[in-house]
Structure 1
Amino acid sequence: MTIPTYRVPLTTLLFFVCCPWAFSAPSSIQSHDAFFAAIAAHCGKAYEGKVTVDNAPGDAFANKTLIMHVRRCNENQLQVPFHVGDDASRTWLITKTGSGLSLKHDHRHKDGSEDALTQYGGHTLDGGWPQVQSFPADQYSKNLFVDAQIPQSIGNTWQMFIYPKVFTYRLIRQGREFRVDFDLTKPITPPPAPWGYQD
């Protein structure tokens, strides 16, 4: 018995290898899609916020203007810079993965280069709610935190809440809570592009 052979054109193989994004399915869980769409509805707008909970306060956020800017949006990713005074090093990346949503923290230096502590975050483990999603630290982040000698952060869970009048970013772990609430009723002039990005 002869086993038939099939020849796949080289261009087809290269497409599969080089362009995996072409086959990635967006999140299809209704609560994830609704949450993503609720943030995307603010695309292009910026809002000022304030720290409402911080049980280990320091100088990083004290007396600084806090601004979130829903800067770039497409069907699979939201880019949301978080400006802290003149520090434009932080951008939240909310991405549909096909099995849920991921949250990454893209941290850059002023010259656009990546910070040593960057791309940490987590992935949803359940459906969450249209208004609330939680992102427990993923394995990449845990490894990064151990290498950076901040092992207490391996228990991090980041949460985001989106309601008609407020957007909330929250970090929790054992013994630690940090929360910033942004007023969605008062759009402000968007800030310049965050470090590492271009207008």
Structure 2
Amino acid sequence: MKDISKSFASIFAPVLLLVACSPDAPQADAQESPQDAFFTALSTHCGKAYAGQLVSEDEADADFVGAPMVMYVADCSKTRIAVPFHVEINGEWDRSRTWLITRQSVPHMSGQGETQLGLRLKHDHRHKDGESDALTMYGGDTADEGTATMQSFPVDQFSVDMFKAQGYDASVTNVWSVEVQPAGSENARFVYQLKRTLEGGATEPRLFRVEFDLSAEVEAPPPAWGHEGG
């Protein structure tokens, strides 16, 4: 990554060991930090796919209105979770998008262990042949500890520079957020949202929000473009 955010100076929670049934599917721990609990909650859905829908009403998203959507928690490790987002538009499935949520940390100056800095959201955009889109790996880092079920990701400098270079000036005030509840929770859902506000410096407000029902699994989709493993 070209951008290493320095916005986490106030977040130095100790690293807590996860009580896990397997390395790739940790279970919730009551003493986890909110960011660890959020990461754990998303990990409980690893290997599962869910259907969703657009719930926002911006005219820019007309193609997504009523379109079938599937998210698939395809790949999980202790530091990164990959969530491909598939949407069917005009009878064809677009498998170009993968959301990447990563734990950010740096080694302790003592050389013993690591200091957790927060979470990072990136968007891996690919073409059907697997090649990266010109606009890819943009996103942001958490600026606060958030909650166990919701984390926000203000746009990072790497993404601001990319947006400006490619003429997407409206995107330089983006704030993304992700919501998730652990598997088995009542009324559990996964929410992905992009928001821009006038108060946040946007020239025009923007809202893109999709919600997925985590109470009912669906068949796993084919791999996202460029991600043959999942």
TM-score category, normalised to shorter length: 0.7 to 0.9
- Separation in 1, partners of 2:119, 2:209: 20
Aligned to 1:188: 218
Encode CA deviations 1:168-198: one digit per residue, 9 max, x unaligned.
Answer: 0011002111110100011000001100011
SS of 2:171's partner is: helix
| The one of 83, 86, 97 aligned to 1:90 | 97
In structure 2, which of residues 173, 176, 181 is the aligned counterpart of residue 158 of structure 1?
Answer: 176
Q: Distance in 2 between matches of 1:143 and 1:154?
A: 8
1:77 aligned residue (57, 80, 93): 80
State the match for 2:160 in structure 1: 142
Q: Deviations over 1:67-87 (max 9, x none)?
A: 100000000000000001100
How far apart in 2 are the matches of 1:183 and 1:93?
A: 20
TM-score after normalising by structure 1: 0.83
Please report how far the alpha carbon of residue 54 of structure 1 lies from its aligned counterpart in structure 2 after TM superposition. 2.8
The reply to whether residue 123 of structure 1 matches residue 129 of structure 2 is: no
- Cα distance in 2 for partners of 1:111, 1:59 equals 26
| 3-state SS of paired residue (2:212) | strand
Question: Residue 78 of structure 1 aligns to which amino acid in structure 2?
Answer: I
Amino acid at match of 2:48: K
Give the percent of matched residue pairs that are identical in Structure 1 and Structure 2: 45
Task: Work out the number of aligned pairs and report it.
Answer: 173
Distance 1:83 1:171 in 2: 17
**Letter matched to residue 65 of structure 2:** A
Q: What is the CA–CA distance in structure 1 between the aligned matches of 2:63 and 2:134, rounded to whole Å?
A: 18
Q: Check if 1:133 corresponds to 2:127.
A: no
Cα offset, 1:58, TM superposition:
3.3
2:67 is matched with 64
Residue 58 of structure 2: aligned partner = 55
Larger mean Cα displacement after TM superposition, 120-129 or 52-61 = 52-61
Separation (CA, whole Å) in 1 of partners of 2:42 and 2:138: 21
Q: Check whether the contact 1:102–1:122 (CA below 8 A) recurs between aligned residues.
A: yes
Aligned to 2:36: 33
CA distance in 2, matches of 1:56, 1:156: 18
Q: C-alpha root-mean-square deviation of aligned residues, in Å? A: 1.3
Runs of 4+ in structure 1 deviating by more than 6 angstroms, as ranges, are none
- 1:44 is aligned to 47
Which has the greater radius of gyration?
Answer: 1
What's the counterpart of residue 170 of structure 1? 193
CA contact (8 A) 1:56 1:176 kept: no
- Taking the aligned partners of 2:64 and 2:127, their CA distance within structure 1 comes to 18
Give how far 1:65 is off: 1.1
SS at match of 2:61: coil
| 8 A Cα contact 2:121 2:139, kept in partner | yes
Q: Which runs of 5+ in 1 are unaligned?
A: 1-26
Return the offset for 1:53: 1.1
